[in-house]
A and B are shown apart, each in its own frame.
Chain A
């Protein structure tokens, strides 16, 4: 699938890359005195800031959603088979599955809990959970959906349900990365799963979870020894850092000691650094995948910066959360 050559699409993406946000632009955005000033800067960059209804927070969210839709529409216009990008979209399917299962077991109707960025429409997920018939879902999701719903029904343990679905999501991302045949998508899957495993280990360690929990939550990947990670997590956060220092993620040990958000930022930056060589590839699927990841990354960063402005957070505290940019 990834052997296909995308001459038209990559050349078009090269032009679109000119409008990606740079580090210097983010400095400007950080320096904006108000949300309105930040929105003006984004308008100059071609972002859809024309939303006028609602609070500042709602307008920012609408703008970010619109930008996500624009990226997806652009790629869909150029690529016949979007399944090659499943690795980037599967996490949203499993997010929707969690939301649908929990929604099905409550009487309250919650709004805005679904996202349309996955591979399965949220309405299909919602209907499947409501009818407790998961046959309309992709095969990989059917068993875990039924199992998670069963567990939630019998134990009322939302965390256990989350762990089961999150692990299935990580396994699906890892498998989709490998199946894509694209080096960059495989790497994305690997990094996504490895960083999630490290985060799970740290949280489990801090909340005193046992080995059984870790075995249930950690998903396999090539760059981590899950047995060693779980063992370290049972012993403590310092032991996790010691183990991480022996892996490909040695640089992350200091970030882990510092804070969870510093580690998350490091993970996102690691992915961006690894996709940067795609700027020079002229016709493979890689530059398209890199553009999608880069757009997600800049949307996430703009959300951080604008949320900081809305909540009057100090500029320095927002700056330390700002991600590296692709261009």
Chain B
């Protein structure tokens, strides 16, 4: 396997890796806050569960980018293409938005989710509004996902 192919694989792996790490941290923090609320009021389980899960989407987006990249590289079919260093770098940088924005946005979204869980703890009637605050952070993860998809699809095969 050449350096080009290795760079492309590193890009695909980083998308799944960093976005997944961010989501794991985010969902973990949300889970701690959700457990705190449910300890005192088990009736709020379903509301806080949704808020806990919001930072989990970045991990899915990272996985999606990794799948697309690996499919295009032929890794999924068991016959990886030999790429030049230039093409490998193109894959690497195409995956980078999802990797880094995924990591940061999941961690920041967790903060918003935790704050919203606190909001629901005190004012359960404001659940709808409480969803909007962490959902705003999702915008940037979706933008990064789009950029990564467009960039990967734009790389000449």
Contact = CB atoms under 8 A, between A and B. Distances in A.
Which of B29, B33, B34, B118 gathers the greatest number of chain A CB atoms within 10 Å?
B118
Given A16-B40, A283-B33, A11 B118 contact: yes
A220 interface: no
B41 A283 contact: no
A228 B34 CA distance: 51
A8 B35 contact: yes
Interface residues of B, number: 18
A227 to B, nearest CB: 45
Given A7-B114, A282-B111, A282-B114, A15 B33 contact: no
B115 A12 contact: no
Nearest to B123: A18
Given A17-B122, A282-B118, A12 B111 contact: no
B29 to A, nearest CB: 5
A100 interface: no
A8 B40 CA distance: 11
Which of B29, B30, B32, B117 gathers the greatest number of chain A CB atoms within 10 Å?
B32
B114 A14 contact: no
B86 interface: no
A7 B122 contact: no
A17 B119 CA distance: 12
Contact of A7 (B36, B39, B40, B121): B36
Category for how many chain A residues contact B: 10 to 19
A173 interface: no
A167 to B, nearest CB: 40
Which of A7, A14, A16 gathers the greatest number of chain B CB atoms within 10 Å?
A7
A118 B114 CA distance: 32
B27 to A, nearest CB: 12
A14 B121 contact: yes
Contacts of A17: 122
Interface in A258-301: 282-283
A10 B122 contact: no
Interface majority SS (helix, strand, loop, mixed), chain A: helix
A229 interface: no
Interface in A5-25: 5, 7-18
Contacts of A8: 32-33, 35-36, 39
Given A15-B122, A17-B122, A7 B32 contact: yes
Given A7-B29, A282-B114, A12 B122 contact: no
Nearest to B117: A11
A14 B122 contact: yes
B16 interface: no
B37 A15 contact: yes
B114 A12 contact: no
Contacts of B40: 12, 15-16
Contact of B34 (A9, A11, A282): A11
B35 A14 contact: no
A310 B117 CA distance: 42
Nearest to A287: B118
Given A17-B122, A18-B122, A11 B33 contact: yes
Contacts of B117: 11
A257 B122 CA distance: 40
Contacts of A15: 36-37, 39-41, 121-122
Contacts of A16: 40
Interface of B: 29-30, 32-37, 39-41, 111, 114-115, 117-118, 121-122
17 contacts: A7-B36, A8-B36, A10-B36, A10-B114, A11-B33, A11-B34, A11-B117, A12-B37, A13-B36, A14-B121, A15-B36, A15-B37, A15-B40, A18-B122, A282-B33, A283-B33, A283-B111
Q: Enumerate the 10 nearest inter-chain pairs by beta-carbon distance, A residue then B residue, closest first.
A: A11-B36, A12-B36, A15-B40, A7-B32, A11-B33, A14-B121, A282-B115, A8-B36, A8-B32, A14-B118
